[in-house]
Amino acid sequence: MTIPDSYAQIQVYQQDPAELKAWIKAQALELGFSDCVIAKPDAQAELARLQEYLDRGYHGDMKFLEDNLEKRANPALLVPGTRSIICVRMDYLVETPKPRYVPYAPNSAIIARYARGRDYHKIMRGRLKTLATKIREKVGDFESRPFADSAPIFEKSLAESAGMGWTGKHTLLIHKKSGSFFVLGELFTSLDLPFDAPASKHCGSCTACIDICPTQAIVEPYMLDARRCIAYLTIEYKGIIPEDLRRGIGNRVFGCDDCQLICPWNSFAQITPVEDFHPRHGLDQVSLLDLWQWDETTFLSATEGSPMRRTGYQSFMRNIAIGLGNAPFDEKIVYALQHQRALHDEIVQVHIDWAIQEQLTKTA
């Protein structure tokens, strides 16, 4: 039997808002989310900061950040009827990491920890849809839409406004009891739920993340120049990486965790219960030379359902070439670079030539 809309709305509003909010949070935790807060659908306060970021050109080639500013500031324009936003996070560490300043093994490749397993976007959206179904079974029909870094949303600002944590000087969200190794998701809803209060900030005078950044991408506290950021350069950027930044990239072939690894609050980082975040294809202990042997078919197979697909094959090989150039001298590296140069496009070849020169320089 189809329930009339008017009756469904009566069901919703019969629920005590505070009790419903507590129940929703409990359901979110049962689904494997690490935390759940309720945010007001208002991010106007973040707009001025984004505009300054754009005016400085720090977004590089991420032109999509210039679009839909009104929708970012007012989520109700993105999803009409939105009255509250359920913000969740999922921890993704599978083991306590060593500090980044521990010397890495020669020829090893580093992939950001969030990208070693399944694509979290799919995991997040699936669980948010399940949460919406559970709420609907309890209160009746309501409007909802799940997001996971998939729309023009100030997701970090919304989560911060509701107490999920505070923005650190590296521009990532930090939770006092869980550090920063987590990803965010949102469920826009038409429900009237009480909003959570923001958390206090606790970075103090610490500048560890600024000091450790290999390419000095954190140009001032709370301001990141993406054009210098290793995560942007190795994932979003598709062109020739400036030569003065290549040595700083080191052996990082997809993303970078350095500013998180050095953060004192990550001594409290939680280990994930989500199996999908565990590394696949040995991506937590793979060598640069092994990756250099991948053809495009192997790349597509090994990155199926992975965030690593985003960078594309040629850009991924460009990153590996830089890593090989930065590795300690090895005749095998020089041979591999020389004999596979013709297999790649002109952009990759520029980085191969640089890598060969870097290797040969180390023989002197």
Tokens of 47: 């707009």
| Catalytically annotated residue among 141, 149, 276, 290 | 149
36 assigned to a ligand binding site: no
Q: Fill in the amino acid letter for 45.
A: A
16 φ, ψ (degrees, to nearest 5): -70, 125
The reply, when asked if residue 229 is annotated as ligand binding, is: yes
206 is annotated as contributing to ligand binding: yes
Q: How far apart are CA 90 and CA 118, in angstroms?
A: 13
Q: Find out whether 238 and 315 touch, Cβ atoms under 8 Å.
A: yes
β-strands 223-224, 218-220: how paired? antiparallel
Separation CA 308–CA 317 (nearest Å)? 12
Rounded distance between C-alpha atoms, residue 172 and residue 221, angstroms: 11
Contact present, 200 and 252 (Cβ < 8 Å):
no
Q: Which residue has the tokens 């979290």?
A: 120
238 is in an annotated binding site: yes
Q: What single-letter DSSP state applies at residue 343?
A: G
The contacts found for 212-216 with CB under 8 angstroms, 24 or more apart, are 212/100, 212/101, 212/258, 212/259, 212/261, 212/262, 213/170, 213/258, 213/259, 214/248, 214/249, 214/250, 214/256, 214/258, 215/245, 215/248, 215/249
| Burial label, 229 (beta-carbon count in 10 A; 0-12, 13-18, 19+) | buried
CB 123 within 8 A of CB 274: yes
Q: Is 254 exposed, middle or buried (0-12, 13-18, 19+ CB in 10 A)?
A: buried
Q: Is 149 a catalytic residue?
A: yes
* Structural contact between residues 41 and 82, judged by C-beta atoms closer than 8 angstroms: yes
| Residues 185-200: b if buried by 16+ CB within 10 A, e if exposed | bbbbbbbebebbebbe
- Tell me if 87 is assigned to a ligand binding site: no
Extract the annotated binding site for tRNA.
Answer: 238
> Looking at the annotation, which residues are catalytic?
149
Extract the annotated binding site.
Answer: 72, 149, 167, 173, 184, 203, 206, 209, 213, 229, 238, 256-257, 259, 263
Extract the annotated binding site for cob(II)alamin.
Answer: 72, 149, 167, 173, 184, 256-257
Extract the annotated binding site for [4Fe-4S] cluster.
Answer: 203, 206, 209, 213, 229, 256, 259, 263
